[in-house]
Every structure is written in structure tokens, then in C-alpha cells.
Amino acid sequence: MRRRSLPRRLIAAVLMLECALVAGLSAATLLYLWREQIHGFDLMVRGRADSLLGQVHDAEDAGDNVAINPDALDLRGSDLWMARDDGGRTLAQSAEWNSEALSSFGSTQEPHDFRVQGKMFRGLLLHGVRQIDAEDGNPGIARPVTIYYASPLEPVYLAMWRAARFLGVASCLILLLTAGGLAWLLRRGLAPLEELSRAAAEMTPRHPRFRAPESAEATAELAVLAGALESATQRLEEAFMQQQVFVNDAAHELKTAVTIIKSSLQLLSSRPRSTHEYARGLESCMADCARMEELVQRMLQLARFEREPASRRVQCDVAEVVRDVSTQMERLAEIRKVAIAVQAPASAPAPMEEDACASLLANLLLNGVQHTPAGGSVTAAISVDAGMIMIEVRDTGRGIAPEDLPHLFERFWRGDNSRARSTGGAGLGLSICKAIVDSCSGEIAVNSRPGEGTCVMVRLPLAESAGVVRELSAVS
């Protein structure tokens, strides 16, 4: 794909607009000048025709005729004119007058254009009356006269050509000066954008952080873009760091699991064993393999929930799911001598898949059961208010230290009290919960105090087509 320079495109666009503006302005100016020239030309032709009419005088002959003395006229030799009396007799005419000129005048008295022998003329037909022997108290004798007068348009054309040439030269100079000034202004105005582009081009996978130049931050139109790039690259850098930590922690966890299995197999094969010892050793290896399989499954589950946002078209009933999950947890709770209670409305539909909701609630209830001593209880309360579904899973366990609370949703993180195999898993449970809640635009938080138990609070959006039943029913 061919790349195009933004300043050049802007300059070309502005120059095209200027050319159109100059062309329109020049055309309007020339049209105005043409009308003014024609108006002045008409006045000149009419004035000459009037002066010709003023030269009509008595011929002082027996026929009582009128005459015109051509020698007394100061008319241009290139003009076409002729004077006639009311009887059709020619009083005088120009040297260039001919029959073609007479037929070109027509009968209209308004100034008009016509062509004679290849040249353009503009003339008029003037019907006038000349008063002969007029004195005080005596109006004299009225002598009707018809004047044909036309003048060549060549001077008008020449004046218009000079005006057009002047406008053309002036327009070209203006466009050249404008192009130079515009190029300078655009380069100066787009300098912050170019600096922003160079700063963005300097980002690499090893250094993804973006630092916006001061010129871009000081430009109102670029400040938002610069802030968005900084925020996006900051999140990208954090994602890279989380990915690196995740890969390192996952490799460590898998290596630990493989090392345990390998050690068990080496110990089992170090000397001859009885059938019972081999069976116990294989049983231990199978248990370790199951834990490693669970770790891999949880890692894949976490990656899926982080990669795929929840669809608004998919719905599940959180109230029904929490009742099913609590039923599945009853056996484990009975073994650990922990009571499970559920408070939920008849229906609480949320925009999430049922397996994701089951994973969320199962992880929360499992954490509560595993970290609650015998004789304690775990309560899951579901409520609906203001278009949101609130989930609270509260236990009566030993609680969490304040310094551990900020790390609860980190991958593979486990507090010191939960690292024993009897209670601690891979440290992915709450990470999976957060990924599920984030995928459907929800919120999750933990409140806990040592010795007072823990409460995990989840807020999920209510499904758009939900018919909410707000009455709560207690299920033990």
C-alpha cells in the first residue's frame, strides 16, 4: 500500500480549494468588469449617436430638406453609422457603411451585438427629432431622423483580456505565496503529531512503555490521544509482566509437580519392593498426577475466561446455580464438619455462561470450606438490587492478614497459612474468579480480619430481559 504524506495531502486539498475560490472570484470579477465595460460602451455609442443627431441642420434648398456635414463630426473611422430622414433619404454615412451593416441592425432600439465582415460590433437604432429654426416662442420645424450607429467591440475585448491576464498573474502569485506559507504553517502545526509518531515508533516488545512528548500533551487535540496511548501501553506493559510472571510461576508449579512424581518413582525403583509397597507408591504417583492435571486444567480455564468476554446473549440463573453447587459441596463440608447455608431469590439471571457461574461459586464456596475449621459455617447470600446481582460468600474461618489482601487475586499466590497440601491448591482459584467476574463487567472484592472470618463480595449485572423476584428464601 502506497503511503501518502499528511502535510502534502492537506496542502494539496487547501490549494485545490484556493484554486476553486480564485477561479470563482476571478470569474465573478471578470463578469462584473464585462458588464461595466458594456454599460460604458453603450453610453459611449448612445452619446455618439446623439452627437450625430445634433449635427442635423436645414439644407436651405428648395426641397426644404435637412442635411449633415460629415466634416463637422468627430467620429472614429472604425465606427459604422448612417443617418436617414423620415422619407428614407440618406443624410450621411460612414466610409465603412454597407448593406450588410444595415441588415445587421434590425428593428430593435436596444443596444445589441452583431457581426459585420467578421468583426463584432455593438450598436443601436435611434429615432430622433431635430427642431429646425427654433426661436423664442417658436418651436421650429420638427424633422424626424433615424440614426444607425455601431462601434467595434475590440477595445472591450482588449480591456477584458488585460484584466484577465492581470487576475491570472495575481492569482498565481497568491497561490505560490499561499502554498509556501501553508507548507511552513502545516509543518509547524503538525510537528507535535510527528513527534508523537516518532515516540510511538520507538516502542519495542522489550520496552513497550510509551512516553508522550510535551508538545503532544500541550496540544488539546493530541492530549487525549497521547493519554490513551500512555494508558494502553501501560496496560500492555502490565499484561506483559503478568504474562511473564504467569509463565514463570506456571513453570515453577509444573516443575515442582514433575519433580515430586520423579522423586516418588526414583524412590520406588531404588530397591526391590513388595507388591503392597509398589501399589502404595503408584497410588501416590497417581495422586500427584491428578494434582498436576488439576493445575493444568485450572491454567487453561483461567486463560479461557481472560480471553473470552461474556456474551450478553447468554444467560444463567445464579440462584439456581448456587443451590446446585452447594448441594455438590455438602459431602466435602460434611467431612470437614462445616455447615453450608444459601440465601437466594427464586431467580437471579446474569449475562454469563452456566459453567462460568458454577466455577465462580464453586471456587468461592470451596475456599470457604477449606479455610473454615470444624464447627464453622459458610454462607452464600444472593440478592438483587438496582439492576445488579450481589453475591456474598462469608465464612467463619481464621481470616486473612491485612498484608495478604492486596495479593489475593494474583496468580499462583498463596498465603503462608494455606500452603499445606491439606488446604492449599495451586493459588489460581481467586484469579479464576476475578477473570470470570471481569469478563461480564462485574466487580469482586474481599473483606477479612484475622480471627473474624472472610467475606467475598461479587457484583454482577442483571440480565437485560430478567424478571426479578426479590423475595429471598433460605436453603440450608
**Residues 279 and 320 placed together within one structural domain of the fold:** no
How does 363-401 read in b/e, with b if 16+ C-beta sit within 10 Å?
bbbbbbbbbbeeebbbbbbbbbeeeebbbbbbbbbbbbe
**Do the domain assignments include residue 181?**
no
315 phi and psi angles, rounded to 5 deg:
-135, 155
Is the confidence at residue 156, as pLDDT, over 90? yes
Confidence category of residue 164, pLDDT binned at 50, 70, 90: very high
Contacts of 335 (CB under 8 A, 6+ apart): none
Asked if residue 326 and residue 302 are part of one domain, the reply reads: no
Longest Cα separation, the chain: 170
Q: What is the DSSP letter of 214?
A: H
My answer on whether 287 and 317 are in the same domain is: no
Who contacts 441 (Cβ-Cβ below 8 Å, separation ≥6)?
310, 461
Tell me the pLDDT tens digit for each residue of 245-278: 667 766 766 777 788 788 878 888 888 888 888 8
For every residue of 15-38, DSSP letters joined together read: HHHHHHHHHHHHHHHHHHHHHHHH
**pLDDT value at residue 425:** 57
Judge whether 149 and 81 are in contact, CB under 8 Å: yes
Shared-domain flag, residues 42 and 94: yes
Residue pair 428/412 in contact by the 8 Å Cβ criterion: yes
CA angle 75–76–81, rounded 5-degree value: 70
- Minimum mean pLDDT among 42-51, 176-185, 194-203, 458-467: which range? 458-467
The band of 151, judged by pLDDT with boundaries at 50, 70 and 90, is very high
Residue 384, domain member (yes or no): yes
- Mean local confidence (pLDDT), 403-412: 80
Residue 295 and residue 344 share a domain:
no
pLDDT at 17 over 50: yes
pLDDT at 160: 94
Distance of CA 432 to the CA centre of its chain: 36
Over range 345-359, report the average pLDDT.
Answer: 88
Give me the number of domains the chain comprises. Answer: 3
pLDDT digits (tens, 9 = 90+) for 306-319: 666 655 567 899 99
Q: What angle do CA 271, 277, 281 make, to 5 degrees?
A: 90
Residue 185 in any domain: the answer is no
Cβ atoms 411, 463 nearer than 8 A: no
Would you say residue 191 lies in a domain? no
Domain that residue 145 falls in: 6-160
In the predicted model, what is the mean pLDDT of residues 323-338? 90
CATH number at residue 417: 3.30.565.10
Question: Which range among 167-171, 257-261, 298-302, 307-311 has the greatest average pLDDT?
Answer: 167-171
Name the domain boundary from 272, 307, 342.
307
Confirm whether 194 is domain-assigned. Answer: no
User: Is the domain of 227 the same as that of 131?
Assistant: no
Last residue of a domain, one of 244, 273, 307: 307
**Residue positions counted in the chain:** 476
Per-residue confidence band for 474, with pLDDT thresholds at 50, 70 and 90:
very low
Residue 188 lies inside a defined structural domain of this protein: no
138 phi and psi, to 5 degrees?
Answer: -125, 115
| The three cell numbers locating residue 190 | 503538525
Residue 300 and residue 331 in one domain: no
Domain CATH for 126: 3.30.450
Residue 201 placed within a domain: no
119 in helix, strand or coil?
strand
Strands 339-345 and 377-385: parallel
Residues 430 and 334 in one domain: yes
128 confidence band (pLDDT: 50, 70, 90): confident
Q: Which of 25-29, 150-154, 404-408, 464-468 has the lowest mean pLDDT?
A: 464-468
**DSSP 8-state class, residue 72:** G
Over residues 75-100, mean pLDDT: 85
Distance CA 294, CA 425 (A): 9
Distances in whole angstroms, Cα of residue 241 to Cα of each of 32, 234, 304, 436: 73, 11, 19, 21
Which of these ranges, 129-138, 180-189, 341-350, has the smallest mean pLDDT?
129-138
Beta bridge partners of 385: 388
Q: Which pLDDT score, from 0 to 100, does residue 310 have?
A: 56
Q: How far apart are CA 475 and CA 379, in angstroms?
A: 10
**Of 255, 283, 307, which residue constitutes the final position of a domain?**
307
**Element containing residue 263 per DSSP (H, E):** helix 220-268
> Residue 109's pLDDT is what?
83
State mean pLDDT over 110-115.
90
Indicate if 144 and 292 belong to the same structural domain. no
Mean pLDDT along residues 43-56: 87
More confident position, 206 or 165: 165
Mean pLDDT in the chain?
A: 81
Angle at CA of residue 239, ends 234 and 243, nearest 5°: 150
CA dist 56 and 129 (Å) reads 10
Say how many C-beta atoms besides its own lie within 10 A of residue 449's C-beta: 13
* pTM (predicted TM-score): 0.48
| Type of residue at 39 | H
pLDDT confidence band for 467 (50 / 70 / 90): very low
Question: Which pLDDT score, from 0 to 100, does residue 3 have?
Answer: 66
For the chain, how big is the Rg over CA atoms in Å?
52
Q: Are residues 302 and 320 in the same domain?
A: no
Find the range with the poorest average confidence among 45-54, 73-82, 247-256, 282-291: 247-256
156 with 251, same domain? Answer: no
Top pLDDT among 116 and 217 is at 116
- Are 19 and 149 in the same domain? yes
Q: Using one digit for the tens of pLDDT, what is the confidence trace for 373-400?
A: 999 999 999 999 888 999 999 999 888 8
CA–CA separation, 288 vs 294, rounded Å? 10
All three cell numbers of 251: 513453570
pLDDT of 419: 38
Residue 342 within any structural domain of the chain: yes
Which string of DSSP letters, residue by residue, matches 389-449? EEEEEEE-S----GGGGGGTTSTT---GGG-STTT---S-HHHHHHHHHHHTT-EEEEEEE
